[in-house]
Amino acid sequence: MVAPSDAAYYSAPNSSFRTCHDGATAAQPARKPLSMRKYTIASLTQSGDVKRSEQIGPAMPIFEAAFSAFAHGTIIGTEHGPVAVEDLEPGMRILTMNDTAEPLIWVGSMTLMPRSSDLPEGGSLTRIMSDSYGIGRPQADLMAGPGARLLLRRPARFSMSGDDRPLTPASKLADGMNAIEIVPPTPVTVYHLCLPKHAIISANGMDMDSFHPGAGFERNMGPNMLTLFLSFFPHVKEARDFGPRAHPRLPFGTFDASAEFA
């Protein structure tokens, strides 16, 4: 079944049968079909070219989190100035919190269908109001997707160790004033980014992280699902190739809790 007005979601048929005592077969109650969706990928090849593809994969949180941090229009800090996320190309150099510029090697995107009574598997965005966390933080309203995490710093006078708070899912910041959950009226394209290693980057002046599935994420996936997931990242051959996390993170939910606290 295709979601209204977009080919973002599909349902994979799933029926089963049992054998009766007389040898006939009878259909068993079908399990709920696995929802599938389209993911769009642009990746940097070893030769420096950009490879583009569209793949169908499960509409599962672990997959969707890899494609849904930054809403269309989010401004990302690059070596040559701010660039809208939809205009980024693999090979561009992204500024990181460590004052280095790292090559962008992967851009993933998907269509976020608004959650509704007709589409309960749809999603929402978190709107971070401008200057909510200090002057220029964010510089303009930030529309964060379901896969977004932000790094909110403690004021120096309150920090005993100098450590930052963990990266926090944008959805967990919603308080009805500084951050508001928004169900968009129409489908929205959302994006995520991979650098050679996990990093903190600037989005509308806020510190957010590039994509990393979490330490030990593969323990929550069967071998076939893991193979499919890794195939979405041409620069990755094994789960460990994602490398270590740049900063502690809070999980989105139960699906990645063990990975984040491993």
Query: What is the pLDDT, as a whole number, of residue 161?
Result: 43
| Calpha distance 19→221 (Å, rounded) | 31
The total number of residues shown for the chain amounts to: 262
Q: Where are the beta strands (DSSP E) in 67-205?
A: 70-71, 75-78, 81-84, 93-95, 101-103, 106-112, 125-128, 142-144, 149-150, 168-169, 179-182, 188-194, 200-203
Give the C-alpha distances (Å, rounded to integers) separating 15 from 18, 27, 28, 29, 30.
11, 8, 7, 8, 5
Any bridge partners for residue 43, and if so which? 51, 106
The closest alpha carbon to 146, from 33, 5, 37, belongs to 37
Helix and strand tally (H, E) in the chain? Answer: 3, 19
- CA–CA dist 111, 118 (Å, integer): 17
Tokens of 156: 């120096």
The pLDDT score that the predictor gives to residue 259 is 55
Q: Can you give the pLDDT of all 262 residues of the chain as single tens digits?
A: 333 334 455 555 544 444 455 555 555 555 667 789 999 999 999 999 999 999 999 999 999 999 999 999 999 999 999 999 999 999 999 999 988 999 999 999 999 998 877 777 678 999 999 999 999 999 999 999 999 999 987 544 334 444 558 999 999 999 999 999 999 999 999 999 999 999 999 999 999 999 999 999 999 999 999 999 999 999 999 999 999 999 999 999 755 655 564 4
* 47-61 pLDDT tens trace: 999 999 999 999 999
